[in-house]
């Protein structure tokens, strides 16, 4: 970062001029006694008064200058804090001698953070404002803000300089306030249901808990490699073995995979495990969870999402194999035959990998022909066992698992299943995953002998689920890129030679 831009240099000169006048351009204390939103709330009665002012009320407010209108001996400014925007009226004769002309007009400008005191009044245009009698600069901004009307048009710049994006766009701040509320409400919901919040390791000796490619790091003290966690699942189930009956964790997961509108290398989820329950209980719990969120966020049950509308009063449920025909339009005689699936994919001019097994090919059909059509909340149930290495087999149809994924607006939001608690079956599936890894599948699950040992001591019948917080917030705030709900999304370096510098 260099400060040789002419506009920056001019602002630095103004900061130095403030110092020369005995004014600290970076004050260390504020007397603020209310926020802008509270100011608006407590003074709304002025609109009903004949005089529309009350000089006996006195407030001290701080905020960033977002608009500056000079009018000779008086000026109107718009200042903003986290809670909202306020118009302030600054008159020469209400300030110390020469302050208005020598300091206010010459050295204070848009972007600066100021503190103002005064009384409330309503302007002739009907806007509640603050009549200023004291003004103090708190922070001099030496980089000018973008022009307010156009804001920041470059999305890449918005992500790289999120602080600037937040300054210029109150709706962006609103999105992240909703995200924070979602996380807080999620925690409260599960605590009220009797779940215990726990913490599990972020660095794992084995890349496990889901099928994904891991990030690798090195533990200097132990002299061994560690994997940033793909998922906390196996550690949380160890706690069920240990006697806890309902646990959850809200935290980050890391997957060394591609980046697109719905994928970021690190993402936030909640995972929870519930002893003596099945995946069917989790379907009921998930509906209750969404009802709880909508009630506490005061959101309508019908939400726009781009050109579509999501009806959160309309939860449906269908088995994966059935969905291929009913929703995806795949012929019924194709869906259970590997060779016919391969022929069908080729006929649709799609890649047909002959090395995939039947369950994996059924998963390919689902991804291609069904997923994008699932607009309203839809539970897809009974996944093939080949693509569900940690889920319990269905008693009546052992080729399928007691599993569901929840899809909304064509995207997976949650994954859940009745947990596999047979240690011998689990060992066999791990061995199958290792064979897949040996055949070139770098996302196959690693063998976790300690987890199999844990199961050998007996894990109660358990159901577990993960919900992607990022994608959930996307649905609730009508965002279409995961980067718009992450304060600091992963970005390529501006300078390819600076590998550590990210957006």
The per-residue DSSP string of 172-188 comes to: HHHHHHHHHHHHHHHHH
- Find the angle CA(61)-CA(62)-CA(64) to the nearest 5 degrees: 140
Residues 118, 213, single domain; the answer is no
Q: Looking at the domain assignment, is residue 409 inside a domain? A: yes
The answer to whether residues 131 and 191 belong to one domain is no
pLDDT at position 4 over 90: no
* Residue 354 located in a structural domain: no
DSSP letter at 430 equals H
Residue at 1 is within a domain: no
- Is there a single domain that holds both residue 210 and residue 90? no
Tell me, yes or no, whether 176 and 231 share the same domain: yes
Q: Specify the number of domains making up the chain.
A: 2
- Give a yes or no: residue 357 inside a domain: no
Q: Helix 423-438 vs helix 449-456: angle between axes, to the nearest 10 degrees?
A: 170
Phi/psi at 36 (nearest 5 deg)?
A: -65, -40
pLDDT tens column, 148-204: 655 567 888 889 999 999 999 999 999 999 999 999 999 999 999 999 999 999 999
77 in a domain, yes or no? yes
Is the pTM higher than 0.85? The answer reads yes
Range(s) of the domain holding residue 122: 6-145
Give the pLDDT confidence score for residue 503 in this predicted structure. 38
In a domain, 334, yes or no: no
Q: Do residue 75 and residue 215 come from a single domain?
A: no
Worst-scoring range by mean pLDDT, 82-86, 260-264, 324-328, 457-461? 260-264
Q: Answer yes or no: are the C-beta atoms of 66 and 78 closer than 8 Å.
A: yes
Residue 31's pLDDT is 96
Residues 392 and 461 in one domain: yes
- Using CA atoms, how far residue 360 sits from 71, 82, 368, 372, 383, in Å, is 71, 49, 12, 18, 10
Q: What CATH number is given to the structural domain containing 29?
A: 2.40.50.140
- Mark whether 99 and 192 lie in a shared domain: no
* Under 8 Å between Cβ of 137 and 108: yes
pLDDT tens digits, 215-250: 999 999 999 999 999 999 999 999 999 999 999 999
Cβ-based neighbours of 190, under 8 Å, separated by 6 or more: 197, 248, 270, 272
- What is the tens place of the pLDDT at every residue in 275-296? 999 999 999 999 999 999 999 9
Residue 501 lies in a domain: no
> Tokens at residue 354, please?
């002959």
Closest CA to 208 of 184, 228, 193: 228
Kindly report the CATH number assigned to the domain that includes residue 467: 3.30.930.10
Where a domain ends, among 145, 178, 202?
Answer: 145
Q: HEC string of 4-23?
A: CCHHHHHHHHHHHHHHHCCC
Q: How far is residue 403's CA from residue 393's CA, in Å, rounded to a whole number?
A: 9
In this structure, how many other beta carbons lie within 10 angstroms of the beta carbon of residue 405? 21
Same domain, 36 and 100: yes
Q: Are residues 216 and 81 in the same domain?
A: no
């Amino acid at each position: 970062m260099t400060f040789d831009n002419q506009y920056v240099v001019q602002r630095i000169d103004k900061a130095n001029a403030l110092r020369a006048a005995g004014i600290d351009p970076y004050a260390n204390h504020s007397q603020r006694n209310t926020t802008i939103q509270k100011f608006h709330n407590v003074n709304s009665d002025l609109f009903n008064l004949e005089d529309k002012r009350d000089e006996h009320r006195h407030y001290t407010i701080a905020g960033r200058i977002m608009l500056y209108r000079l009018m000779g001996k008086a000026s109107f400014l718009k200042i903003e804090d986290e809670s909202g925007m306020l118009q302030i009226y600054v008159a020469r004769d209400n300030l110390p001698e020469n302050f208005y002309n020598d300091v206010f007009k010459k050295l204070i400008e848009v972007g600066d953070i100021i503190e103002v005191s005064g009384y409330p009044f309503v302007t002739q245009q009907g806007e509640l404002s603050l009549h200023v009698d004291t003004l103090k600069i708190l922070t001099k901004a030496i980089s000018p803000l973008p022009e307010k009307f156009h804001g920041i048009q470059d999305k890449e710049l918005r992500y790289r300089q999120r602080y600037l994006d937040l300054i210029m766009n109150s709706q962006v701040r609103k999105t992240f306030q909703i995200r924070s509320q979602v996380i807080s409400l999620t925690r409260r919901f599960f605590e009220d249901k009797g779940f215990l919040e726990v913490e599990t390791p972020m660095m794992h000796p084995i890349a496990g808990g889901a099928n994904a490619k891991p990030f690798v790091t090195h533990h200097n003290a132990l002299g061994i490699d560690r994997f940033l966690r793909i998922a906390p699942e196996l550690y949380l189930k160890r706690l069920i073995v240990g006697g806890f009956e309902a646990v959850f964790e809200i935290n980050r997961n890391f997957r060394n995979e591609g980046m697109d509108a719905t994928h970021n290398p690190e993402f936030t989820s909640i995972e929870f495990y519930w002893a003596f329950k099945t995946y069917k209980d989790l379907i009921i719990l998930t509906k209750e969870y969404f009802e709880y969120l909508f009630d506490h966020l005061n959101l309508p049950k019908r939400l726009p999402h781009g050109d579509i509308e999501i009806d959160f009063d309309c939860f449906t449920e269908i088995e994966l194999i059935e969905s291929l025909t009913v929703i995806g339009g795949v012929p019924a005689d194709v869906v259970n035959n590997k060779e016919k699936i391969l022929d069908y994919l080729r006929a649709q001019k799609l890649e047909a990998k002959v090395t995939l097994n039947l369950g994996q090919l059924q998963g390919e059909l689902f991804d291609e022909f069904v997923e994008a059509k699932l607009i309203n909340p839809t539970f897809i149930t009974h996944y093939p066992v080949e693509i569900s290495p940690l889920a319990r087999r269905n008693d009546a149809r052992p080729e399928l698992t007691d599993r569901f994924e929840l899809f909304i607006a064509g995207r997976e939001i949650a994954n859940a299943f009745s947990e596999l608690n047979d240690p011998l079956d689990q060992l066999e599936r791990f061995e199958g995953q290792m064979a897949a890894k040996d055949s070139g599948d770098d996302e196959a699950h690693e063998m976790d002998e300690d987890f199999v040992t844990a199961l050998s001591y007996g894990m109660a019948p358990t159901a577990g689920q993960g919900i992607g917080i990022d994608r959930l917030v996307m649905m609730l705030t009508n965002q279409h890129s995961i980067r718009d709900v992450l304060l600091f999304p992963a970005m390529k370096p501006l300078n390819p030679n600076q590998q550590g510098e990210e957006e």
